[in-house]
Amino acid sequence: MGIFAEFKKREQEVFPHNKIILWDGRMLDCYPLAAQAPDKIDEDHLELDTTGQFLSVGAKKPQPVSPKSKDTEEQKELFIKNAFYLLAHKERIMSDSRMFLCRIPIQSGLAYTGISGFTNPTLGIYLEWWSIVEGAMRTDRKGRKSLVYHLAGSPLSGANKCAAVREDGKIEIVSLSPFNAHWGPFTRLNNRYTEAKQLYQAYTLQEVLNILNQEDDGNTGYAHSIEMQYMTHEIEVSNRRVEQIKEERDMWYNKYKDALIRYNEDKIRKYYAEFETLETSANMEIEQLKEQKRALKAELKSGRLDNITYQKKLMPLTKRIRELEIEIGCFKFNKVLEAFPDERDISFNLIEQFVRNERKSNEEDK
């Protein structure tokens, strides 16, 4: 199943009270905010920009983007600086909703729709997005690893200029292709937790780092954990590629079978008519033989027949029933080979399915 199909399947998923369900299925307890819950949850769906910052109409010039506060810039730099450290502690972060819901002050956006769909991403959302989206965790030809943390581009043309941070802390500008396969999952994940972000407690990024540093107890050897996360990511991406290939294979095979049936439909109808004639005749005889067996059983129970005589009369009836059942089975297999010697992909089940679907369609048209 492709990643967009997965999102479509799970977009109506409802979280239990005071809990969130992560993308991998694990469920976390959440802690309601001390303040009264908002009367209305602010939605965060993609919509056309109305601020004039990302979409201008006619000769109107785009409005300048408001400068970010010093604290926001510091928090942004803190996240970028510690991105790989946080990735190494993914499992710990994904076990605590307050860490998962920690807000990351990095504002991505798209032409035409602006920042809608990207509001208040969290640490957990980044970790999930890195894990499931091919190209979010990158390794270049020189073996240098990097993590994409900022998305910016056009949802229409696909042109984009995004940012990634390397393990050595250097920032690089990257172009992601196809772009919709990156920003689409990010906004879907972000929207998945929109309500939770407004209802439940979350640590600050500094608090998360303090907890992790304290639990590390001075241990700085987390390179192995990063390597494991990258390998897990590659396995996840590879599994999804395999599923997509299987789906594409099945799609083409179904088209092939449909064309095969249509090309041979007259012969198929003739074959199936012969089979139904045989099956009807055989089943009638089988039912008559079974009736004779029931009569023999009644005679045995009444004492009119002894067991030896009963067995002698029963055996030829049972044998004939078995012969008729074998005759039906052989017709299904052998006659298909005789009728379609050059079409090894035509089976009895395929023929039966075609005839039944055709009859059902004809019935519905009446």
Where in the chain are the domains?
3-247, 264-365
**In whole angstroms, what is the distance from residue 180 CA to residue 154 CA?**
9
Bridge partners, 172 (sequence order): 164
Rounded to 5°, the CA angle 198-204-209 comes to 140
**In whole angstroms, what is the distance from residue 298 CA to residue 303 CA?**
9
Q: What is the pLDDT along the chain (366 residues), one digit of tens a residue?
A: 567 677 777 777 889 999 999 999 999 999 999 877 777 888 887 777 766 555 444 444 444 445 567 888 999 999 999 999 999 999 999 999 999 999 999 999 999 888 889 999 999 999 999 999 999 999 999 999 999 999 999 999 999 999 999 999 999 999 999 999 999 999 999 999 999 999 999 999 999 999 999 998 777 778 889 999 999 999 988 988 898 899 899 999 888 888 888 888 888 888 889 999 999 999 999 999 999 999 999 999 999 989 999 999 999 999 999 999 999 999 888 878 887 787 777 888 888 888 888 888 888 876
**In whole angstroms, what is the distance from residue 346 CA to residue 340 CA?**
7
Per-residue pLDDT at 259? 87
Query: How many Å is the Cα radius of gyration of the chain?
Result: 33
Q: Are 117 and 180 in contact (CB under 8 A)?
A: no
Helix/strand/coil for 331: helix
Q: Are 278 and 32 in contact (CB under 8 A)?
A: no
Bridge partners, 103 (sequence order): 122
> Which alpha helices (DSSP H) does the chain contain, by range?
3-10, 70-81, 83-88, 90-93, 97-100, 123-132, 180-192, 194-199, 205-216, 223-263, 265-302, 307-330, 336-339, 348-365
Q: Of 138, 137, 164, whose CA–CA distance to 151 is shortest?
A: 164
Residue 104, φ and ψ in degrees, nearest 5: -115, 115
**In whole angstroms, what is the distance from residue 277 CA to residue 275 CA?**
5
Tokens 């996840």 correspond to 236
**In whole angstroms, what is the distance from residue 164 CA to residue 150 CA?**
7
For the record, the structure tokens of 262 come out as 């249509």
Per-residue pLDDT at 57? 40
- To which H or E segment does residue 49 belong? none
For the record, the structure tokens of 111 come out as 């032409």
| Ramachandran class of 64: left when φ > 0, alpha when ψ lies in -120 to 50, beta otherwise | beta
Q: Is the pTM of this model over 0.75?
A: no
Bridge partners, 152 (sequence order): 109
Q: What type of residue is 291?
A: E
**In whole angstroms, what is the distance from residue 200 CA to residue 202 CA?**
7
Tokens 């906004």 correspond to 187
